[in-house]
């Protein structure tokens, strides 16, 4: 058996994608629309408090294209907290105009591929803050789930640790060339959802997503082993933009 990679887990993640029933929104009375919008503002204010108290983090983006209209990315300490967050949304007046579009459950993950052998990364405060990150407030987000292939000679899980470590080093080097332009949050979902990881990328320039993901396609670990789910891309839904996005 190949040596398993060691992972550290942090906050749990829910990527909660919703569709908005805009017809329903338009047909509602002005007062109903105000109530629904107010209900959404109330939730957002609660999520901001949780983030200020470092009990989790939430990022809101509107989704471009027909796969969804809104994504709420929640990080929380436990699965119970995530479920409560989802339920509070479902019970709010705003949820009446939303329908589920997609969801992804995972947990923030760091692996020991690039840590020095013999050191304990969990002692490092920088590692602790990467496990419980405050989500960036960039203009754009990109999310997709992915697997590492298990087919014939391209079976990631049959490679020995050293081969995987070498490939992950090269992967990390490409990634680091985008330092300051992209923040990646890798969440592991083996045993939790349909794919093995969720990849969430944050950037102010959406072209950076295209350049980074394309460059990685030529790198061995993505070229041979990467299998990808659907891609979602979004624009930041700031507090100020909510009233424009949900017009009276």
The residues that are catalytic are 144
Tell me: does residue 172 bind ligand 76R (CB under 6 A): yes
- Residue from 42, 62, 103, 111 touching ligand 76R (CB under 6 A): that is 111
Residue 16, SS3?
Answer: strand
Indicate the residue among 116 and 176 with the shorter CB distance to ligand 76R. 176
> What's the token pair of residue 22?
């805009």
161-176 vs 207-217: helix crossing angle, rounded to 10: 150
Restricted to residues 117-156, the positions that interact with ligand 76R (CB under 6 A) are 146, 148
Tell me: does residue 186 bind ligand 76R (CB under 6 A): yes
- Listed in sequence order, the residues at least 6 apart from 81 whose beta carbon sits closer than 8 Å to its beta carbon are 12, 56
Q: How far is the first Cα of the chain from the last one, in angstroms, to the nearest whole number?
A: 61
- What is the per-residue burial (b if ≥16 Cβ within 10 Å, else e) of 146-176? bbbeeeeeeebeebeeeebbebbeebeeeee
* Dihedrals phi, psi of 75, to nearest 5 degrees: -115, 130
* Part in contact with ligand 76R (CB under 6 A); list of ranges 31-39, 55-63, 82-90, 165-173: 165-173
* Part in contact with ligand 76R (CB under 6 A); list of ranges 29-37, 47-55, 100-108, 212-220: 212-220
* Cβ 108 vs Cβ 132: under 8 Å: yes
> What's the token pair of residue 123?
């002692």
- Residue from 47, 94, 178, 202 touching ligand 76R (CB under 6 A): that is 178
Cβ of 178: how many Cβ atoms within 10 Å? 18
- Residue from 68, 108, 213, 246 touching ligand 76R (CB under 6 A): that is 213
Tell me: does residue 5 bind ligand 76R (CB under 6 A): yes
- Residue from 175, 227, 229, 236 touching ligand 76R (CB under 6 A): that is 175
Indicate the residue among 20 and 105 with the shorter CB distance to ligand 76R. 105
* Cβ 71 vs Cβ 14: under 8 Å: no
Tell me: does residue 216 bind ligand 76R (CB under 6 A): yes
Least distance in Å: CB of 111 to ligand 76R? 4
Largest CA distance in the chain: 64
Indicate the residue among 170 and 238 with the shorter CB distance to ligand 76R. 170
Indicate the residue among 33 and 181 with the shorter CB distance to ligand 76R. 181
Q: What are the residues binding ligand 76R (CB under 6 A)?
A: 5, 111, 113-114, 146, 148, 168, 171-172, 175-176, 178, 182, 184, 186, 197, 199, 201, 212-213, 216-217, 222, 226
């Amino acid at each position: 058996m190949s040596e398993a990679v060691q992972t550290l887990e942090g906050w749990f993640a829910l990527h909660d994608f919703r569709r908005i029933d805009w017809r329903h929104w338009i047909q509602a009375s002005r007062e109903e629309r105000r109530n629904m919008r107010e209900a959404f503002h109330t939730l957002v204010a609660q999520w901001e408090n949780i983030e200020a108290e470092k009990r989790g983090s939430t990022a809101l983006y509107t989704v471009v294209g027909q796969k969804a209209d809104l994504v709420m990315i929640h990080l929380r300490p436990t699965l119970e907290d995530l479920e409560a967050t989802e339920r509070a949304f479902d019970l709010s007046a705003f949820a009446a105009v939303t329908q589920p579009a997609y969801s992804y459950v995972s947990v923030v993950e760091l692996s020991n591929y690039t840590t020095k052998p013999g050191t304990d990364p969990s002692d490092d405060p920088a590692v602790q803050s990467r496990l419980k990150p405050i989500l960036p407030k960039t203009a754009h987000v990109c999310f997709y789930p992915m697997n590492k292939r298990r087919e014939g000679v391209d079976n990631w899980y049959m490679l020995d640790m050293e081969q995987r470590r070498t490939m992950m080093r090269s992967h990390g080097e490409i990634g680091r060339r985008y330092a300051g332009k992209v923040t990646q949050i890798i969440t592991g979902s083996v045993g939790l959802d349909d794919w093995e990881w969720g990849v969430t990328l944050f950037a102010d320039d959406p072209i950076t997503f295209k350049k980074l993901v394309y460059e990685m396609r030529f790198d061995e670990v993505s070229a041979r082993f990467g299998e990808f789910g659907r891609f979602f891309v979004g624009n930041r839904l700031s507090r100020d933009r909510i009233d424009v996005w949900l017009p009276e």
